[in-house]
Amino acid sequence: MTEKCITCQDSRGAKSTSGSRICAVDDTTAIGALIKVTIDGQPVKVPLGTTILAAAKELGIKIPTLCYHEDLCISGVCRICVVEVEGMHNLQASCAYPITQPITIQTHTTKVRLARRHILDLMLSKHYGECYSCVRNNNCELQSLAKEYGVDFFRFGHVDKPKFGQDKSSYIERDMDKCILCRRCVRTCVDLQEVGVFEAVGRGTETTIGTFMDLPMIEEICINCGQCINRCPTGALKAKDPSDEIWEAIEDPTKHVVIQTAPAPRSAIGECFGMEPGTAMTFEMNTALKYCGFDKVFDTNFTADLTIIEEGTELLLRLYKALVQKDETVAVPQFTSCSPGWIKYIEHFYPEMLPHVSSAKSPQQMFGALIKTYYAEINKIDPADIVTVALMPCTAKKFECNRPEMTDSGFKDVDFGLTTRELAQMMQEAGIELTKMEKSDFDDPFGTATGSGVIFGATGGVMESAIRTVFELVTGEMIESVFDKANILPVRGFDGVRMAELTIDKIGPVPDLLKPLVPNWDWLKGATLKVAVAHGTANAKRVLEDIKRGGPLSECHFIEFMACPGGCLGGGGMPIPTNEKIRAARARAIYQEDENSEVRKSYLNPAVAALYDKFLTDGPCGHKSHHLLHTGYTPRGSKVV
């Protein structure tokens, strides 16, 4: 008599190696096959190749992890996620076990629990560091597991003095005595970003995470993106924190301390105060900053709008030189220059392509230059007494503001780069409960910004902002005539590389602001503008290699690059943890703020228009703006004569 499958009562069932039945409907050889597994007595069907860890998540069963991270490739080195699989003698790492046949799994047996506890004890035996003084105190995955598994003594001993010491040479600081060898930093740098600063060195008990030739971070090819920090489960990696120096400046009555706030932190800082990702705290944050003692709170979105005017004008000049004047020395496509991690990446790996990079500074650095010139002038403040702080989602911004060329104001344009995490800590020191703060607006003359400035925080945002402005300046038509509600959806999203095209069917008169630069737009009528967006330096590499071999991306006119996955909202200075779901929630907050804005195109910002009228009187890409707002990466000449 043939035994029938207990699932579908079909007699075609066959026995698996564990003796259980395989349903004929669940044919594991079929494309898209669903396989029945049982975890802690709960049945579930999952696609072929699903890991045990992922299957357990579907059932709401928690399995602890350390080396695993949703953004990274599977490693399976820490073994804290071990489970029992029926029929197997050894415990299996659930994060690295692909389900290929029906199996029965137990996740919390005595054997599993003790194994996890012993693995944890072994990690703690080599982990040196005082939790109270650690930057990750109360947000450390190792610390959380120690509490969860009831660690009340060091079963295998504990180191009482540091072995490696700390590397504080760079803006990314390392403390390898806190490292648990999970290799997340290695996989982040090698696989996610394709930079390759870190590697596992040695074997067995002598294994460490090192750099090339064990050089200090300041001498490595690190781009300071901070993605390794965001994925490190402990305090082995952190950013250089300027908080003490900022407090000192605030407390100095001779100093006028101002802060500019980028769009991405306002979408995420609430996470540091227990709020859900994507809860915008823009105006509560303004009040909290005043409470901390900052004299003025400005909106970086103002100079994001300014960046669009300068960078967009530069793009039009490049295209005019290339298409009309047939100047073969002009580098097209033009690359954006807002992301300092991306700039450092191209400097290290593709220096021959630097002529493609826009000469426009980032919004952070434009702001710094204006504060110590225009702002100081109209408020009769000695620039030497002004301290400028930039609240950024980015650890590379710390490096950027300390670049020697960023002194066009005659002073250091931006004194300190402060991350979202660091500001949250400052607020907590000041006894601020952000969620209870009243709302207040930004200060003038830099309090006016547009929705285009806000969306700089998401990948594709710079490109969308540029298209909104350039299209309307050239055609005289509203962008809404092409894209509903001015939402340029083709450049949005989290695909690694995205392309879009826009044909210019009509042309309008040259706006007064640009009349000194080009005689007319006739040369653009009927042209198709081709653009692309890339986020994460691994994707940047794909784009640059495609351009080098003359691929489709070489036909683009303008390409946006961001060093961090997701753009600034996934920056190295944002709240930990981060993953695709969290980044998507932050993006929704940013786009919602854009849609709520009264003005959504950069060139319509009245404060930017006033700046050109009163200060940058020779217009965008003019002599004064080139001096203050641009660097040396520029097409030959700044004006078309």
Q: Which residues are catalytic?
A: 311, 314, 338, 358, 397, 400, 405, 568
**Tokens 């490109």 belong to residue:** 463
Query: 198-201 and 208-211: which strand pairing?
Result: antiparallel
Edge-to-edge strands of the sheet including 528-535?
A: 334-335, 558-562, 528-535, 497-503
Instruction: Tell me, letter by letter, the H, E, C secondary structure of 39-83.
Output: ECCEEEEEECCCEHHHHHHHCCCCCCCCCCCCCCCCCCCCCCCEE
Per DSSP, the three-state class of 503 is: strand
Distance CA 366, CA 413 (A): 8
Give the DSSP H or E segment for 502: strand 497-503
CB 13 within 8 A of CB 22: yes
Query: 334-335 and 172-175: which strand pairing?
Result: unpaired
Note if the bond before 333 is cis, omega within 30 degrees: yes
CA angle, 316 then 562 then 211, to 5°: 135
**Residue 107 has which token pair?**
């996740």
Neighbouring CB atoms inside 10 A of 272's CB total 21
CB 600 within 8 A of CB 296: no
Give the DSSP H or E segment for 38: strand 34-39
Per DSSP, the three-state class of 392 is: strand
510-546 burial by CB neighbour count: b if 16+ within 10 A, else e? beebbeebbeebeebeebebbbbbbbbbbbbbbbbeb
Distance CA 461, CA 476 (A): 22
19-54 burial by CB neighbour count: b if 16+ within 10 A, else e? ebbbbebbebeeeebbbbbbbeeeebbbebebbbbb
Q: How many residues does the chain have?
A: 641
Per DSSP, the three-state class of 488 is: coil
Compute the Cα dihedral for 609, 611, 617, 618 and give only its sign.
negative
Q: Which residues pair with 211 in a beta bridge?
A: 198
What 8-state DSSP symbol labels residue 345?
H
Distance CA 261, CA 258 (A): 10
**Cβ partners under 8 Å of residue 138, min gap 6:** none
Which residue from 132, 378, 397 is spatially nearest to 264, judged by alpha carbons? 397
**Tokens 């006119």 belong to residue:** 557
CB 495 within 8 A of CB 584: no
